[in-house]
Amino acid sequence: MRIVLDSDACQGHGRCYSLAPDLFDSDDEGYAVLKVDGEVPAGQEEAARLAADNCPEFAITVEG
Amino acid sequence: MTDTTRPPVADWTTDFDHTHPDYAQHAPEIWEELREGCPVAHTERFGGAWLPVRHEDVAAIARDTEHFSSEGVIVSDFRPEGLAPMGYAPPITSDPPFHAGSRRLLLPAFSPKEIDRWEETTRAACRELLDEMLADGATEVDAAVAYTQHIPVRVIAEMLGVPKEDGDKFRVFIHRVLEAPGSFAHEEIPYEETLDYYLKTLIAERRANPTGEDDLVNYLINVEVDGQPLSDDHVQGSIGLLIIAGIDTTWSAIGASLWHLAKTPEDRRRLVDDPDLMVFAVEEFLRFYAPVTMARIVAEGAEDAEIGGCPVSARDWVLLPFPAANRDPEAFEDAHQVILDRQRNRHLAFGVGIHRCVGSNLARMEIRVAVEEWIARIPDFELATDDPDAVRWSTGQVRGPRELPIRILSTNEVS
């Protein structure tokens, strides 16, 4: 599974890093930072889907 | 204190009034009726205002800073003019390009890591309030008056570095601005009792006698952008914003969450039994009981501005009822049900686009801690009334219970 973060769309809602803390972190201003290189580690698929499904800006997409 | 002199509403599609007590008590029914019949309502009141209720329209306007200005965010008979791009309470009242710099100044203080620091303060405040509330063995309490209204006030007072007693003043300022906008304009309020006086005095005192404390007032007074300090209006506007936007809103969300749990025993038990639900439950409370309705003014010169295909005129007011958008069945499955573990929840409680609530991490933390502490101490409780009107909801652009009679059915000892 691949995960993509559109940093231009991110407005810092913070839903991703609270739902998927192993995949996302917050920068000093609260914007999302992807902690993985785009490949979702085994066992994190559900967290990845939650992050995508709860982003109000549609800034996260998962494929596969 | 509620303004009861508003003329009756003839028709919610052509004459709506969000400051009328009928709107406060029945807003969800009104939104539903409008969504099915006339999803972009209008009123001649306030000099002309629009009320879209569909998720799609509300989100589109929130994101469209070209056609819709934030120069005015509280709909009243007073329409700000000539204040763009900063506005009177930056960054919420600011338009691009001024907006981004002003917002960047506040973001670090409200990042999740910074907000973590305030969790213990919040927890201690909640415990102290519960101790006081239960001290005389009370079995019926007004949770709004005894609990919810105090929590955000105490936290923001600490963040600003002002005495917690100032919180009582804050609630008066906020009521005038948010719940009864415009209705105090003709009343004689001594200047010494106004928010303007409070802020000017606070800033002048801090400048004259620097405290050296690491708080938000000192930060805004001392911060420099491109080697220049902020203007006095900017400092005052941003502190005013933190007071106005950070208190009524969160108080409302905490109150609505407790109201829901009081009247829904199965959800109450689920949350008590499974604390891991909280991360989803807080978002679901925020979706269903989103307290905030934002507003915009159609930008000067925006000839082609429209809302859901409905042409609007420059300088018209536009309300953005986030709670209405959050109950739109087009955007949410089973939109009219509270589902504590809802898995897909792109709610708009904190808005969307560049004006996403700067305090959203703080608000979430306060709601979570306030509910956690309440149910840890009072795991079983119910509404102490069968009369829905006994729970009074606020009027205006912040919606939440202002009286919340609760019967306490069981308590736990302090751990």
Q: Do A13 and B350 touch (CB under 8 A)?
A: yes
First to last CA, chain A: 5
Q: Is residue B10 part of a domain?
A: no
Residue B1 confidence (pLDDT) = 41
Q: Is residue B191 part of a domain?
A: yes
Distance between CA atoms of residues B304 and B312, nearest Å? 8
CATH code assigned at B122: 1.10.630.10
ipTM of the complex: 0.97
Q: What is the pLDDT of residues B94-140, one digit of tens each?
A: 999 999 999 999 999 999 999 999 999 999 999 999 999 999 899 99
Q: What is the rounded average pLDDT of the residues B4-26?
A: 91
Q: Is residue B15 part of a domain?
A: no
Distance between CA atoms of residues B210 and B232, nearest Å? 16
CA distance B353 to chain A (A): 6
Q: Is residue B209 part of a domain?
A: yes
CA distance B110 to chain A (A): 8
Distance between CA atoms of residues A30 and A14, nearest Å? 7
Residue B42 confidence (pLDDT) = 97
Nearest-by-CA chain A residue for B283:
A15
Supply the range of the domain harboring residue B265: 21-410
Nearest-by-CA chain B residue for A51:
B344
The two tokens of residue B328 are 């739109």
Q: What is the rounded average pLDDT of the residues A19-26?
A: 98
Other Cβ atoms closer than 10 A to B100: 11
Residue B179 confidence (pLDDT) = 67
Our count of domains for chain B comes to: 1
Q: Do A54 and B352 touch (CB under 8 A)?
A: no
**Percent of chain B clearing pLDDT 90 (strictly above):** 85
Q: What is the pLDDT of residues B68-99, one digit of tens each?
A: 999 999 999 989 999 989 999 999 999 999 99
Q: Is residue B161 part of a domain?
A: yes
Q: Is residue B309 part of a domain?
A: yes
Residue B176 has pLDDT above 90, yes or no: no
| Residue B3 confidence class, pLDDT cut points 50, 70, 90 | very low
Q: Is residue B16 part of a domain?
A: no
Distance between CA atoms of residues B65 and B117, nearest Å? 34
pTM of the model: 0.95
Q: What is the pLDDT of residues B231-265, one digit of tens each?
A: 999 999 999 999 989 899 999 999 999 999 999 99
Q: Is residue B257 part of a domain?
A: yes
